[in-house]
Amino acid sequence: MSVRFDARLRARDFDIALEVADGETLAVLGPNGAGKSTLLGMLAGLIRPDDGHADIGGRILFDLAEDRSTSLAPHRRGVALLAQEPLLFPHLTVRANVAFGPRSLGASRADAADRADHWLAETETFELADRKPEELSGGQAQRVAIARALAAEPQLLLLDEPLAALDVAVAPTIRRMLRRVIAHRTTIVVTHDPLDAYLLSDRVVIVGGGRIVEQGPTRDVLERPRAQFTAQLAGVSLLTGLRVPGGLLTDDGVTIAAVESHRVPAATGAATATAAGPVTRAAQSTGPFDPVRASESDDGHHTAHPVVGLRVTAALRPSAVHVDRRSVAWSPPDSDGVNVVAATVRDLEPHGDLVRVRTEWLVADITPGRVADLDLAPGSPVVLSFAATDVDLYPA
Ligand SMILES: Nc1ncnc2c1ncn2[C@@H]1O[C@H](COP(=O)(O)OP(=O)(O)OP(=O)(O)O)[C@@H](O)[C@H]1O
């Protein structure tokens, strides 16, 4: 069943409209306080908007305006909400917990037990059926909670950070199981983890300050982000600026050589491409990007595109950035197709088996050994280099 949602709540400065197609999984990502839980709460019937409308396949969940006030009770919505913590009934066995939904929907005791057994098998918890929740590990309890949510046969499944409370060792197998059981089921998953978004969702909506900031197919949004928050979340550096031949002129006045992944009309009048920034190189050379070809229209005719106002964005993966120490006398070399820029280390943090080096504008992932060799610390002057072919340029 497809879902339509459009609601406002002034007390939380919330104003969001979205749709979820039948069988689609939508991931909702955003910083703390962005409005993600408010969205789920409104759909589940736990929070009442000031005004708005939501329906599942035309069946109204709420329809609120000055002259209308329809709002279905939570248990009649066909919506299941799975929270970060499993919240199982402590006095019931695992099987009775899972059978609870079907029983409340009117199934006979035998039918409800059959359905519970089906979902226990699906979530690989069948052997735990006779245990009490207190006898389960965190991962087992979350599997049972997933079984319980699905046994109620919801038309819309809401997952609120379903893996956040789990051990990192347990999360991958549960994520895989979740991916299997929510396939082709209309689902909204709130998460902070881009891996959840990549593996579970078809589409993402990025929210901030109670509004949608950007949205689209998961890969498109996370690999070519337009908002700084999305870039941070996806772990890439984001550069914004003006399109110039061979790359972009950043808002800080640094020229970066880049290739484009989408068709971005090039600037004609290359004279504007002078880099005024503190450090620069490479972009003025004929890099992998050919400005003349890019300024041709689809039918092959040359088209003039003004540089002014033509904004572009570029994403750069931290693993593509090489770090060196910078001496006082350093000046950018004249290198073709490789960007070499100056930066200052802001902080260093562990990132898997690498160290994430944050500078005032770009991020690099390097080995702990290299951090030690370069004797890096916050405040260290560094030189960052990265190939033009690693700078993914796309329209802003
Ligand atoms: N019970 C409440 N009463 C009033 N305002 C609230 C309440 N809960 C949240 N808010 C406010 O509503 C806004 C949205 O909060 P919400 O909990 O929906 O954000 P979130 O994106 O889920 O954040 P998090 O990632 O921290 O869970 C925030 O400004 C928050 O301070």
Structure ipTM: 0.95
Rounded alpha-carbon distances, angstroms, from residue 95 to 100, 117, 235, 396 = 9, 7, 41, 52
pLDDT at 263: 44
Range(s) within the chain of domains with CATH label 2.40.50.100: 237-395
Name the pTM for this structure. 0.80
208 Cβ inside 6 Å of ligand 1: no
> How far away, in angstroms, is 41 Cα from ligand 1 center?
10
d(CA 253, CA 118): 61
Pairing verdict, β 68-71 and 25-29: unpaired
Domain 237-395 sits in CATH 2.40.50.100:
yes
* Ligand 1 mutation pick, 10, 37, 207, max ligand atoms within 8 A of CB: 37
* Ligand 1 mutation pick, 9, 14, 38, max ligand atoms within 8 A of CB: 38
pLDDT at 304: 39
pLDDT at 362: 93
Nearest atom, ligand 1, residue 30 CA: 21
Please tell me whether residue 225 adopts helix, strand or coil conformation. Answer: coil
- Signed CA dihedral, 214, 215, 217, 219: sign only: positive
pLDDT at 247: 87
Range(s) within the chain of domains with CATH label 3.40.50.300: 3-233
Residue 322: CB atoms within 10 Å: 15
- Radius of gyration over alpha carbons of the chain, in Å? 26
Find all residues with CB under 8 Å of 352, minimum gap 6, and list them. Answer: none
pLDDT at 274: 32
Under CATH, what is the fold of the domain 3-233? Answer: Rossmann fold (3.40.50)
* Ligand 1 mutation pick, 10, 12, 161, max ligand atoms within 8 A of CB: 12
146 Cβ inside 6 Å of ligand 1: no
34 Cβ inside 6 Å of ligand 1: yes
Strand order in the sheet with 25-29: 79-82, 156-160, 187-190, 25-29, 203-208, 211-217
d(CA 332, CA 31): 37
Encode the chain (396 residues) as per-residue pLDDT tens digits.
Answer: 899 999 999 999 999 999 999 999 999 999 889 999 999 999 999 999 999 999 999 999 999 988 889 999 998 899 999 987 778 999 999 999 999 989 988 889 999 999 999 999 988 899 999 999 999 988 899 899 999 999 988 999 999 998 887 777 788 888 888 999 899 899 999 998 888 899 999 999 999 999 999 999 999 999 899 888 899 888 899 999 999 888 899 988 888 988 765 444 444 333 333 333 333 433 333 333 333 333 434 444 333 343 545 889 999 999 999 999 987 777 776 667 889 999 999 999 998 899 999 999 899 999 999 999 999 999 999 999 999 999 988 888
> How far away, in angstroms, is 14 Cα from ligand 1 center?
10
Pairing verdict, β 392-395 and 311-316: antiparallel
84 Cβ inside 6 Å of ligand 1: no
> Looking at ligand 1, which residue's alpha carbon is closest to its atom 10?
12
